[in-house]
Structure 1
Amino acid sequence: MLAFTLLSVLLCATCSFALSFTDGLLPNGNFEYGPKPSQMKGTEVIGHNAIPEWEISGFVEYIKSGQKQGDMLLVVPEGSFAVRLGNEASIKQKMKVTKGMYYSLTFSAARTCAQEETLNVSVSPDSGVLPMQTLYSSSGWDSYAWAFQAEVPVVDIVIHNPGVEEDPACGPLIDSIAIKALYPPKMSGKNLLKNGDFEEGPYVFPNTSWGVLIPPNIEDDHSPLPGWMVESLKAVKYIDSDHFSVPEGKRGVELVAGKESAIAQIARTIVGKQYTLSFAVGDANNACEGTMVVEAFAGEKTVKVPYTSKGKGGYKRAVLKFTAVSTRTRVMFLSTFYTMRSDDFASLCGPVIDDVKLLSVRSPRFFL
């Protein structure tokens, strides 16, 4: 009886562990648990497994918040520690996932030396290159999202710096790496677009106030924003209602880089049938002031929606009516102008779009 009781407790504990997975930081994803003093040479980490839960290669530094680099003070957004990847350095962690499931990684990164840096992000066999030459926040830190589909039950998550700087210590700071399972929504009778409210998307760190950048689809085979493609040269920003003003629900998209920042989706339509595309345009309550214009495209029609922002939140609604000329209709949104925040004149910002709906116009019925 005692053996049966112990077995039952073990089984319950195992089930609880299996079901207790929640979206959030990877184990030691904020690097608060660091190497032992014997595994450090100055700031350089010595030993492949010196950082708990991680495997490192190349020149990796363990950085404490407030540490100085010349005249620059290094700031860490989450907790007190981060890692810096030198030339050809990488960090890796194994993770159990569900085969066939979609996931999104979110991590924070900051440049420290070079004017242009890139990061290779990979979950075998998928990989992508994220450019870091454009800064979107005045703090120097940005959060990035990158998505993948699990092809095996155990994957290696790798972030690698391919840089070739003269100073081997130069390279990006990495902190706060999280994962989130994605559940791609389907279209319905209430909306022919998928994820038109943007509620499904990457993990947003609760302790950061700069949103999450979603890179162009040419750098990401699987979008962290299910249903949507980022068809532009620069990223769009995924924002939440805890830190920004969002027209509807808890999530929205900020078009932060003018015409270089666009999102699109292809919807099934019937040739000759009439449709209405409705959406909300606003500002994120982030000191993004001035007249902003969102351009919406559907079929052969386009509309420009001006929005005068005081940078304190608010929105307006707009509608684009069109007749489908194909069985596949591309719906796209972009911002006409570049805009900078009025409180620092350094951070790119732009209009917010949300609550996007595509519906067919029913033909009126005539009764005799």
Structure 2
Amino acid sequence: MQAVTILSVLLCATCHIAFAFTDGLLRNGNFEIGPKPSDMKGTEVLRHDAIPEWEISGFVEYIKSGQKQGDMLLVVPEGAFAVRLGNEASIKQRVNVMKGMYYSITFSAARTCAQEEWLNVTVAPDSGVLPMQTLYSSNGWDSYAWAFQADLEWIEIIIHNPGVEEDPACGPLIDSIAMRALYPPRPTNKNLLKNGDFEEGPYVFPNTSWGVLIPPNIEDDHSPLPGWMVESLKAVKYIDSDHFSVPQGKRAVELVAGKESAIAQVVRTIIGKTYDLSFAVGDASNSCEGSMIVEAFAGKDTIKIPYESKGKGGYKRAVLRFVAVSTRTRIMFLSTFYTMRSDDFASLCGPVLDDVKLLSVRKPRRLM
């Protein structure tokens, strides 16, 4: 009897582990396992549970890469299949998480035939609407990040198309939905800023080369980039060293939308004390060429750092010295200009920001 009890406990533990979340794709997160032919009418999915591991509602289509809609070719970013969310359609999956923990969702999306497309991402009680009017890459696909704090051990991730088009099939394509646990870093005696090296952030798909967009904080109550807020109208891009040139470590931020693309962090300071804000400015080796300027702000102090990019990687370092006039100082960075890639005039790009440090200066000496 005791042996049976132990076996039952082990089976239950195995069951729990099978559903427990680990960083990476959600179950069937790339939609490569599709509905049965009997659950399809053309491309439309008929049953709410026809796509394995997902629950759908509304007009949802199962799209194969290379499929045509009129004269438009539908392209899937990874693998062979994706889903398209028509009018008021949604996809949903339950995930086992740790209560109170922060998580970031990363997914790829593309516009199709609608002029204005939005996506509503929900993990109750958090919800955010991500606009898709601005395309940042010419291949038609962008990857987006959105963060939340888990209130329960089981959460439901819902991606919903709130649009109402004349053609119910005119909705965004969705593919490759992943999740990553976030561990918000704390200030240290080596850096008063949190996550100044940008190493903590959303999941980056290993087989994609376009980075991950982090939306403005008006769209997301919890930043996918811990410690930082995107305080602009447009997104910033989170990039990795596997696909881009990064000044230090494995992650950095690319300021891709001029003055509409800014990141900020509020840090505790001591009035009258001198501080050095140091950082690296470069390019991502993605054919983003030309004259760039990164503007750095520390309270009322500011500095403009020019960077002449050849689009092949490289960086320079800069320092903004300032005297704190408040117990809290806002640190902010933005790019002065809009820039397009020289090999692709439809893709936004910009200067790379990395290795941001803030330290107090005990015996200030004049900077050269």
Instruction: Say whether residues 1:167 and 2:163 are aligned partners.
Output: no
CA RMSD of aligned residues (A): 1.8
Distance 1:53 1:318 in 2: 49
After superposition, give the CA deviation of every residue in 1:122-155 in whole Å (9 maximum; x if it has no partner): 0011100000000001110000000000011111
Q: Corresponding residue for 1:140?
A: 140
Q: Work out whether residues 118 and 161 of structure 2, in 8 Å CA contact, stay in contact via their aligned partners in 1.
A: yes
Identify the range of structure 1 (19-28 vs 282-291) with the bigger mean alpha-carbon deviation.
19-28
Distance 1:296 1:95 in 2: 40
Distance 1:22 1:356 in 2: 29
Instruction: Say whether residues 1:243 and 2:247 are aligned partners.
Output: no
Q: Corresponding residue for 1:113?
A: 113
Distance 2:300 2:179 in 1: 39
Q: Corresponding residue for 1:149?
A: 149
Distance 2:288 2:100 in 1: 40
Distance 2:21 2:131 in 1: 31
Distance 1:107 1:52 in 2: 18
SS of the residue corresponding to residue 128 of structure 2 reads strand
SS of the residue corresponding to residue 347 of structure 1 reads strand
* One-letter amino acid of the structure 2 residue matched with residue 135 of structure 1: L
Identify the range of structure 1 (15-24 vs 69-78) with the bigger mean alpha-carbon deviation.
15-24
Distance 2:22 2:90 in 1: 26
Residue 300 of structure 1 deviates from its aligned partner by 1.8
Q: Corresponding residue for 2:200?
A: 200
Q: Corresponding residue for 2:263?
A: 263
Query: What are the equivalent positions in structure 2 for 1:309-328 lying under 5 Å apart?
Result: 309-328=309-328
Q: TM-score, normalised by structure 2?
A: 0.96
Residue 20 of structure 1 deviates from its aligned partner by 7.4
Q: Spell out structure 1 runs of 4+ moving beyond 6 A.
A: none
After superposition, give the CA deviation of every residue in 1:176-216 in whole Å (9 maximum; x if it has no partner): 00000000000000000000000000000001100000000
Q: Corresponding residue for 1:329?
A: 329
Q: Corresponding residue for 2:51?
A: 51
Residue 10 of structure 1 deviates from its aligned partner by 2.9
Q: Corresponding residue for 1:89?
A: 89
Distance 1:81 1:140 in 2: 16
After superposition, give the CA deviation of every residue in 1:17-39 in whole Å (9 maximum; x if it has no partner): 37974200000000011110010
Distance 1:2 1:310 in 2: 71
Residue 363 of structure 1 deviates from its aligned partner by 3.4
Q: Corresponding residue for 1:360?
A: 360
SS of the residue corresponding to residue 7 of structure 2 reads helix
Distance 1:15 1:41 in 2: 35
Q: Corresponding residue for 2:287?
A: 287
Residue 6 of structure 1 deviates from its aligned partner by 7.1
Distance 2:22 2:94 in 1: 17
Distance 1:40 1:267 in 2: 54
Q: Work out whether residues 299 and 323 of structure 1, in 8 Å CA contact, stay in contact via their aligned partners in 2.
A: no
Q: Work out whether residues 20 and 96 of structure 2, in 8 Å CA contact, stay in contact via their aligned partners in 1.
A: no
Q: Work out whether residues 292 and 350 of structure 1, in 8 Å CA contact, stay in contact via their aligned partners in 2.
A: yes
Q: How many residues align?
A: 364
Distance 1:321 1:6 in 2: 64
Identify the range of structure 1 (107-116 vs 348-357) with the bigger mean alpha-carbon deviation.
107-116
Instruction: Say whether residues 1:61 and 2:51 are aligned partners.
Output: no
Residue 3 of structure 1 deviates from its aligned partner by 3.2
After superposition, give the CA deviation of every residue in 1:314-334 in whole Å (9 maximum; x if it has no partner): 000000000000000000000
Note the residue ranges of structure 1 that are not aligned, 5 or more in a row.
Answer: none
Residues 155/13 of structure 1: CA separation in 2 closer, same or farther (3 Å cut): closer
SS of the residue corresponding to residue 14 of structure 2 reads helix
After superposition, give the CA deviation of every residue in 1:23-73 in whole Å (9 maximum; x if it has no partner): 000000000111100100010000110100000000000000010111111
Distance 1:8 1:35 in 2: 33
Q: Corresponding residue for 1:184?
A: 184
After superposition, give the CA deviation of every residue in 1:245-295 in whole Å (9 maximum; x if it has no partner): 000000000000000000000000000000000000000000000010000
Residues 303/26 of structure 1: CA separation in 2 closer, same or farther (3 Å cut): same
Distance 2:261 2:345 in 1: 19
Distance 1:220 1:256 in 2: 19
* One-letter amino acid of the structure 2 residue matched with residue 49 of structure 1: D
Instruction: Say whether residues 1:232 and 2:197 are aligned partners.
Output: no
Q: Corresponding residue for 2:24?
A: 24
Percent identity (aligned): 84
Distance 2:363 2:20 in 1: 50
Instruction: Say whether residues 1:10 and 2:10 are aligned partners.
Output: yes
Q: Corresponding residue for 2:339?
A: 339
Note the residue ranges of structure 2 that are not aligned, 5 or more in a row.
Answer: none
After superposition, give the CA deviation of every residue in 1:161-181 in whole Å (9 maximum; x if it has no partner): 011111011000000000000
Residues 164/12 of structure 1: CA separation in 2 closer, same or farther (3 Å cut): closer
Instruction: Say whether residues 1:99 and 2:119 are aligned partners.
Output: no
Q: Work out whether residues 19 and 96 of structure 2, in 8 Å CA contact, stay in contact via their aligned partners in 1.
A: no
